[in-house]
Structure 1
Amino acid sequence: MDHVVTCFVRNRGEVLLTRRSDRAETYAGRWAGVSGYVEEDNEEAEFDARRELREETGFGGTSLRLVRIGETLAVDDEEGSFVVHPFLFESTTREVRPNEELAAVEWADPTAIRDRETVPRLWETWRRVAPRVDDVREDRTNGSAWISARALEVLRDAAVDADDWESVAAVGRELRDARPSMAAVANRVNRVLATAERRPEAVAAAAVRALSAAHAANEASSATLVDRLRDAGATGVATLSRSGTVCECLREFGPDSVLVAESRPEREGVDVAEAMAEETAAAVTLTTEAAFPAALADGSVAPDAVVVGADAVLPDGSVVNKTGTTGLALAAREAGVPVYVVAARDKVRPTGDERVVTESSPAEAVYDGEEDVDVFAPTFERVPGRLVDGLATEDGLLDGDDARRVAAEHAEHAAWDGRGGSGE
């Protein structure tokens, strides 16, 4: 049997679908991912996956990140016998340079696979690399905007494959409770299940719309902050940890300099620093949270503004974010540098929910010695609202009254389960 790769490239929740040209050796005219033969070691198919992406679409470099390698599956029909190696990549760009093997390319929601004439078992291939509940529950690298989008994808795919509404609702409950520290996860899942009819196909369609709206909200929140930074004449920005919305803001704003804290112990800030160095013209400096006060006083790297994301916004205006944010905000206040939080409205907790869920980093990430040493390494902390100079959302800069109205709306959606999930 021949071994082949099928690569799905995702951007803004949609994947790149390609229609094979008449020059393709098999399945001419059918829709697929980006496919090609494994030419060397079947156990090293990632090399072939990246080669096919580069040759057929022009994707490569730091703009392309491997997300998952799926379990192989076998295809045996009149066109041949194949072992398919599924891959999922995330791309920061939608610019495609198709070669002669592709007759057409299109960014589409993965559910479009089910409505097209595709290569065999393409939906099943997608499902082998698609997000899962455990991804939402266990991801300690990406921010809540990213993770909440994955939650919507899980709900959408579960609804597509479901025969009844209750099985979809069961997945929704798992997702709703998977990341109690991240308000956007529960809020976005709750909205879909509260407003969609109690039919799997209705939930799937609502999840697709919600995913698109979530990406639009993140972009609009970023635009709000970009406008604020430009109005203030800022040229240098500091941040910590990983926030997709913050990264989008920095790409759009184009600062002269970026100061990034590595965000211990997982050090996800390193990825942010590398991405900013690759994707912007800014002078990028990587530091530690402990060195931030010194950096803010150093004229060579001192920023004009601090920009962070949020895992949740509480009704009193305080913000829940990665541990280290409070120290950064205090140092910024002492140095006279404004602190801005960029967060879509879905990060506001529902009325009556003011939890600060302090997930913990793995103890061994802080101390892996043999002595009897306790480790205190909470992942999130509450940042007092008095340390925040502005909360940028898709609806502009949010004030206290606005936040309370948003919180009431989220509370209404959160009641879907108690009313049987109908939203009525």
Structure 2
Amino acid sequence: MIDRERSLLSILSNRTTGSVGLTEALLQHIEQNSSFYENKRNFLTLSQRTASTFPGMAIIINTLAEIYSSLGKLPIEEILQRVSASIREETERSCRNAVEIISSFDSVGTISESSLVIKALSGLDLSIWIPESRPALEGKLAAISLAESGVNVHFTTDYAIGTFIDRIDAFLVGVDCFTSEKFVNKTGTKLLALAARHYNKPFYAIGTKRKYIHNLPTRLKSGIPSELWGSPPHGVTVESPYLEAVEISLLSGLILEDGIFTSQDVKKLDIDCWESFYSLLVDSRKE
């Protein structure tokens, strides 16, 4: 029990890994403790804790919902294999679609550490511009991964990225979740999108339909104030949001496994996002 709880807490306390990476880690955790999570009550408790910690990461909740719907019908090991294979295929298809677009540019800007962005950009013959992505500095981790793949990386401070925008041809950012109107990503994404629009730079986001949600959560992930200021004086309120909602209308296109969608196309998407499971999570909190 102690090892299981320690394993779960290491995932729930992760402040830097993107939603796909966290989903993969959670699937591995469930597999390692499959006999415990075959019990629907235990699995629902896991799902509730995860949803409470990562309210804006729809891929995690939608994946848990898919697993929950099959519990008792198939062995949990088989369920996990099928779900993991689906996520890999969806991710590969989205990345291939991104490469078709991004490979036509000489330099691309991004933000934070999206595993889909890193996978799509790795090994390409272009330059990547990445801001540090404060306060958790995920941008540094992304810079390391991309540099190791052979890409030429330029790393800078968050607000200095605007200084170099003339040297950036296009932007590619990740998606934690999206609705028909907005998508959620690392704080600072909206400023990049607005700058890209002002300077006529293509701005794309990459995700999968598994990240779709009907309504954005009322609360998005934030850090603790001491990350920014250990002992602020009286009268100073420290805010440290990790994520923000950005209008899809600011995108040149949303890249998914089935293609590239304009803001109008996104409104027409018909995606099952397991609303009944979301309701079940809410009900379980009341018990």
TM-score range, shorter chain: 0.7 to 0.9
- In the alignment, which residue of structure 1 is the partner of 2:199? 335
- In the alignment, which residue of structure 1 is the partner of 2:155? 286
Give the whole-Å Cα distance in 1 for the aligned partners of 2:153 and 2:121. Answer: 12
Q: How does 1:167-246 map to 2 (within 5 A)?
A: 167-194=42-69, 196-198=70-72, 202-230=75-103, 233-246=104-117
Contact 2:177-2:183 at 8 Å conserved across structures: yes
Higher strand proportion: 1
Name whichever of 176-185 and 318-327 sits farther off.
176-185
User: Could you say if the C-alpha distance between residues 162 and 314 of structure 1 is closer, same or farther in structure 2, counting changes exceeding 3 Å?
Assistant: closer
Structure possessing the higher relative contact order (Cα contacts under 8 Å, 6 or more residues apart): 2
Q: Secondary structure at the match of 1:286?
A: strand
Q: What is the RMSD of the two structures over their aligned residues, measured on CA atoms?
A: 2.8
Shift of 1:309: 0.2
Q: Secondary structure at the match of 1:181?
A: coil
Contact 2:122-2:149 at 8 Å conserved across structures: yes
1:139 aligns to 2:4 (yes or no): no
User: Could you say if the C-alpha distance between residues 267 and 165 of structure 1 is closer, same or farther in structure 2, counting changes exceeding 3 Å?
Assistant: closer
Shift of 1:357: 2.8
Shift of 1:172: 3.3
1:271 aligns to 2:145 (yes or no): no
Contact 2:128-2:154 at 8 Å conserved across structures: yes
Give the whole-Å Cα distance in 2 for the aligned partners of 1:163 and 1:224. Answer: 36
1:303 aligns to 2:174 (yes or no): no
Shift of 1:214: 1.3
Contact 1:258-1:284 at 8 Å conserved across structures: yes
- In the alignment, which residue of structure 2 is the partner of 1:366? 228
Give the whole-Å Cα distance in 1 for the aligned partners of 2:254 and 2:60. Answer: 19
- Give the TM-score, by structure 2 length: 0.87
Contact 1:187-1:347 at 8 Å conserved across structures: yes
For this pair of structures, how many residues does the alignment match? Answer: 281
Shift of 1:128: 5.0
Which among 357, 365, 370 is matched to residue 219 of structure 2? 357
Structure 1 counterpart of 2:126, which letter? D
Contact 1:136-1:151 at 8 Å conserved across structures: yes
Shift of 1:137: 2.3
Structure 2 counterpart of 1:312, which letter? C
Contact 1:315-1:354 at 8 Å conserved across structures: no
Give the fraction of aligned pairs with identical amino acids, expressed as a percent: 24
Shift of 1:327: 0.6
Higher helix proportion: 2
Residues 28-64 of structure 1 show CA distances to partners (whole Å, capped at 9, x for unaligned) of: xxxxxxxxxxxxxxxxxxxxxxxxxxxxxxxxxxxxx
Contact 2:225-2:238 at 8 Å conserved across structures: yes
Give the whole-Å Cα distance in 2 for the aligned partners of 1:182 and 1:396. Answer: 21
Shift of 1:404: 5.2
Give the whole-Å Cα distance in 2 for the aligned partners of 1:395 and 1:276. Answer: 25
- Give the TM-score, by structure 1 length: 0.60
User: Could you say if the C-alpha distance between residues 162 and 148 of structure 1 is closer, same or farther in structure 2, counting changes exceeding 3 Å?
Assistant: closer
Shift of 1:248: 0.5
1:257 aligns to 2:130 (yes or no): no
- In the alignment, which residue of structure 1 is the partner of 2:118? 247
Contact 1:182-1:347 at 8 Å conserved across structures: yes
Unaligned runs of 5+ in 2: none
- In the alignment, which residue of structure 1 is the partner of 2:248? 385
Q: How does 1:115-134 map to 2 (within 5 A)?
A: 128=3, 132-134=7-9
User: Could you say if the C-alpha distance between residues 387 and 165 of structure 1 is closer, same or farther in structure 2, counting changes exceeding 3 Å?
Assistant: closer
Q: Secondary structure at the match of 2:158?
A: coil
User: Could you say if the C-alpha distance between residues 173 and 278 of structure 1 is closer, same or farther in structure 2, counting changes exceeding 3 Å?
Assistant: same
User: Could you say if the C-alpha distance between residues 203 and 332 of structure 1 is closer, same or farther in structure 2, counting changes exceeding 3 Å?
Assistant: same
User: Could you say if the C-alpha distance between residues 394 and 158 of structure 1 is closer, same or farther in structure 2, counting changes exceeding 3 Å?
Assistant: same
Give the whole-Å Cα distance in 1 for the aligned partners of 2:156 and 2:230. Answer: 23
Shift of 1:398: 3.3
Residues 386-410 of structure 1 show CA distances to partners (whole Å, capped at 9, x for unaligned) of: 2111111111113555565444x11
